[in-house]
Structure 1
Amino acid sequence: KVGELSEREKEIFRLICEEYSLKEISQKLNISEKTIHSHKANIQAKLGVRNTVGMIKFAYENGLLI
């Protein structure tokens, strides 16, 4: 499932897992918060999860967290 993510989605997924807020991610990547929300929704759909907790759980269960 992670392989389905674009490079930008992988970057945003990683930052969310590192506890960055969506506002902080938008500032760090110089893109709008609305765009971050869109990417997050796409990530959740591709991973088959419903929310941020689901994203973190997915990362943990798949060995993506260090």
Structure 2
Amino acid sequence: MPKDANGIELNSGDNVSVIKDLKVKGASTTLKRGTTIKNIKLTAKDNEIEARVDKFGTLVLKTEFLKKI
């Protein structure tokens, strides 16, 4: 099971928050700290999740930069 930055297990459909400003490849802006991401999906890799983010579309994010809300 994937775990967030605090070691809490993540499940599909969870809501998470970004804990650090992240540069997004192919985008001119950054994903700001504190951004809430709703309804995440788990991927085959334990350290990654997939999510739809406003203004960015679908992104794959590393769980070490997220915390469960």
> TM class, shorter-chain normalised?
under 0.3
What TM-score does the superposition give when structure 2 sets the normalisation length?
0.24
Q: Name the structure with the higher strand share.
A: 2
What TM-score does the superposition give when structure 1 sets the normalisation length?
0.25
Q: Name the structure with the higher helix share.
A: 1
